[in-house]
Structure 1
Amino acid sequence: MPDLAEPAAVFHTSFLAAMKEFADEGWSVGDTRTTVAEDLQEYAGVWETAEGFRAYLERVRAAEDERTPWHPGWVGFTTWWWADGDEYLGKLCVRHRLTTHLREQGGHIGYHVRPSARRQGHATAMLRASLPYVRELGIASALVTCDVDNTGSRRAIERCGGVLEDRRGRKLRYWIATE
């Protein structure tokens, strides 16, 4: 049964396969401002080796510390992987606080399901599983956004209790109580 897991070397093979799926969808092209696209742009070609993958995992863990330079304006965030055994199915990041930009477009929680695992309930399950961890970070109500045309993500958010606040540009903004 899938569950949230800390990023680890045991997922190396399935993680690489998932990243290839994302790359095949065009995620590494242009500035999409997602951690998946950023990872593909920076680590594709590096994380194939065991030592390159270890370096990537160290960077992922270091992002939890606000002082870790990721990109200007980014805040500390915790990453979990959605996995079934050693099979990587997706990724969920919880931003520890909101900036002006995150309040408009990004929210507290961002998640991605690998293309071959979509439409199987993983987004809903991983979002629901993350809420106790989000609460532990002191976030009583989490902002989660999705693109207006992303019906699957919208449904996942709503299934987890998301209440639509508004639409800002191409983003729908929902609040989910974590308590």
Structure 2
Amino acid sequence: MSPQLIAPTVDVHASFLAAMEEFRAEGADRSPHSNLARELRTWHDRWPSAEGFAAYVGTVGGTSYDERADGVVPSTTLWWVEGDTYLGRIALRHRLTGTLLAYGGHVGYAVRPSARRRGHATAMLRAALPYAHQELGLDPVLVTCDDTNAGSRRVIEACGGVFEDQRAEKLRYWIHARRPTADAHI
């Protein structure tokens, strides 16, 4: 079975827990602006129970069309899985605020540490682009990365990202979601 994007599901509970421990071990929970970090801090104690994990999946799963009171824009979260193994996640923000335009972009993704350097980030982003265009009407999409993250820069460029500029530590790229990219169907 090849990896694929799916809506979050309780079916990957065990591998999700292992992935979150990998992220915590590398310090991902200490990032001040990351959704993953916020979820690691907020949900870590509840994820181990079936009920807690189901509540989490219900909260982050699929598409949120309502803007939250704290200014978080509507988004769609998808997980990159192979069978019952959680490999990573991608979030597609439906619109850009001033902060997202400058630093965050439409897309945020993370691959669990033990699955990195195997092409998963590139494949996941490629698989998400048609969804961003067809389901959310986004085109082009803005993807950003830290200027020190050479791996993410290569992922974005491999998916057709065109560099626009750098703002503070963030590199900003635009990708035309409606244009097919090589290996778009994983």
TM tier relative to shorter chain:
over 0.9
* SS of residue in 1 equivalent to 2:90: strand
Q: Which amino acid aligns with 1:142?
A: V
Q: Match for residue 118 of structure 1?
A: 116
Structure 1: unaligned runs, 5 residues or longer: none
What is the TM-score when the length of structure 1 is the normalising length? 0.95
For residue 106 of structure 2, the aligned residue among 95, 105, 108 is 108
In the alignment, what sits opposite 1:170?
A: 169
- Per-residue CA distance 1:84-125 (angstroms, 9 max, x = gap): 111000010000000000000000011000000000001100
The 2-side partners of 1:38 and 1:62 are apart by: 18
Amino acid at match of 1:46: R
| Counterpart position of 1:49 | 49
For each residue in 1:63-85, what CA deviation from the matched residue of structure 2 results, as whole angstroms up to 9, or x when unmatched?
61214x3x612101100001111
Deviation at 1:148, TM superposition (A): 0.3
Distance 1:81 1:169 in 2: 29
What is the SS of the residue equivalent to 1:28? helix
Question: Structure 2: which 5+ residue stretches go unaligned?
Answer: 179-186
Task: Call closer, same or farther: CA 1:119–1:24 in 2, change over 3 Å.
Answer: same
In structure 2, the residue matched to 1:58 is: 58
For residues 101 and 81 of structure 1, the distance between their equivalents in structure 2, rounded to whole angstroms, comes to 25
State the 1:29 CA deviation: 2.2
For 2:41, give the aligned amino acid: Q
CA distance in 2, matches of 1:30, 1:9: 26
CA distance in 1, matches of 2:151, 2:20: 20
Between the aligned partners of 1:61 and 1:18, the Cα distance in structure 2 is 17
Following superposition, the deviation at residue 30 of structure 1 comes to: 5.0
Pick closer, same or farther for the CA change 1:62–1:85 going to 2, 3 Å.
closer
Matches within 5 A, 1:32-47: 33-47=33-47
- Rounded to whole Å, the distance in 1 between the matches of 2:81 and 2:156 is 20
Opposite residue 145 of structure 1, the aligned amino acid is: T
| Cα distance in 1 for residues equivalent to 2:61 and 2:108 | 16
CA distance in 1, matches of 2:34, 2:47: 18
Q: What is the SS of the residue equivalent to 1:178?
A: coil
Shift of 1:4: 0.5
1:29 corresponding residue in structure 2: 30
Cα root mean square deviation, aligned: 1.2
- Aligned counterparts of 1:117 and 1:37: Cα–Cα separation in 2: 18
Identity across aligned pairs (percent)? 52
How many angstroms does 1:58 deviate by? 1.0
Q: Which residue of 2 aligns with 1:82?
A: 80
